[in-house]
Chain A
């Protein structure tokens, strides 16, 4: 490919243009550059960049020794009457502000969590119902989109500590099963319907429930 371009350039440079043709060529080039510049400035002002972005939801644990958050060392057992704590974090990589909500649901391991539909109330139990996990977030800038391993910023929600505890309703949903799933669903406020809609983004933690 490079060879081809090289040959084209050399053939063009070898070709001698008359002064009139040269002038004409430069005039056309300058004018086309000017027109392209004007169009690009106008489009950047009137039609700002808006590609499809995404939202990020992650579950984290706090490492006491390294004093950092990491996606490792998750609990795998929940004992009856005991509780476990972990953190969730949401990042807004969409190109607009988002009003997020997190719903934490417990269900049997056999119950599938999908991006199409949220878990329904008959097959799952809404944990921490009294807590409101909601946040309005600014979108990440182009520089922030390239950052990694960041846990604070205007486009980040969290890491938020969540304490999950067992109770009779949770045991009723499990119906004697030992394996369970704690599903974190990300919901977004939809201004057209004035309500929170399931975004299709979820993450879950598998636990062994010890009666």
Chain B
């Protein structure tokens, strides 16, 4: 009898310790899931803004849009799981969405940087090319065109004849 009482006391003590622990773990999971969903939602918004800006330039982002849409669907699923009190599943899906969106943002930044570098390279080449062209033109102008022009001018002037009007005609006119 004493043993039974002792056992009951221990059991009640254990339960009184265990139940709050379980409750607090459950509440913690719920909190974590909620936080992960909120974070994923904010990240989705950020990604859409970045993708909108990128789609106005000539960067190919089709694969990134598909990945973002997959992440969006994961967030929708996470919200459904949360409503059904499956907090662990909701947390997992929201986390997956978060990871996927981070990867999209990083890839987008990488492509934008690459595009920017390509632009710099292209314009540097264009600048150098224009400078070479300008220098070439100046050289050609100084060495060929201008002397040729001077020569032609002299040639043209040499063809000119001075014609004197006869005195009779002048008198007639007067």
Q: A interface vs B, CB < 8 Å? A: 19-20, 23, 34, 38, 41-42, 45, 48, 50, 95-97, 99, 132, 134-139, 154, 189, 191, 194
Q: Is the CB of B69 closer than 8 A to any CB of chain A?
A: yes
If A34-B133, A97-B48, A136-B65 touch, does A45 touch B55 (CB 8 Å cutoff)? no
Q: How far is the CB of B84 from chain A (nearest CB, A)?
A: 12
Complex interface: chain B residues within 8 A of A154 (CB) = 62, 65-66
**A20 B55 Cβ-Cβ under 8 A:** no
Measured between alpha carbons, how far is A135 from B152 in the docked complex, in Å? Answer: 73
B65 touching A96, Cβ below 8 Å: no
Chain A contact residues: helix, strand, loop or mixed: mixed
* Besides the known contacts A138-B65, A139-B55, 5 further A-B residue pairs in the complex with CB atoms under 8 A apart: A34-B133, A42-B123, A99-B48, A137-B65, A154-B62
Residues in A whose Cβ lies below 8 Å from that of B51: 97, 136
Task: Tell me the number of A-to-B contacts counted with CB atoms below 8 Å.
Answer: 54
Among A20, A34, A189, point to the contact of B48 (Cβ < 8 A). A189
Give min CB distance, B13 to chain A, whole Å. 46
Residues of A within 8 A of B58 (CB): 45, 48
| Bound Cα distance from A132 to B66, whole angstroms | 17
Known contacts A48-B58, A97-B61; A191/B72 CB under 8 A? no
Q: Cβ of A97 and Cβ of B130 under 8 Å apart?
A: no
Which chain B residues in 32-59 approach chain A with CB under 8 Å?
A: 45, 48-49, 51-52, 55-58
Most buried by A among B49, B56, B58, B76: B56
